[in-house]
Amino acid sequence: MQTAFAYLRVSGRGPLSGDGFPRQNQAIKQYAKSNGIHVVRTFEERGVSDIDLKSETLTVRVDKNRFRTRILPLNLTASWAVERLLERANELGVTQPEHYLIPSRVSGKAYDPTQPPSRWGGGRHGERSRRSAD
Q: pLDDT tens digit string along 86-120?
A: 888 888 888 877 788 888 999 888 999 888 887 76
Query: CA–CA separation, 93 vs 58, rounded Å?
Result: 22
Distance between CA 28 and CA 40 in Å, rounded?
12
> Which value, to the nearest 10 degrees, does the dihedral of the CA atoms of residues 94, 100, 101, 104 take?
-90
| Burial class, 42, CB count within 10 angstroms (exposed 0-12 / middle 13-18 / buried 19+) | middle
In this prediction the pTM is 0.47
| Closest by Cα among 87, 85, 88, 77 to 111 | 88
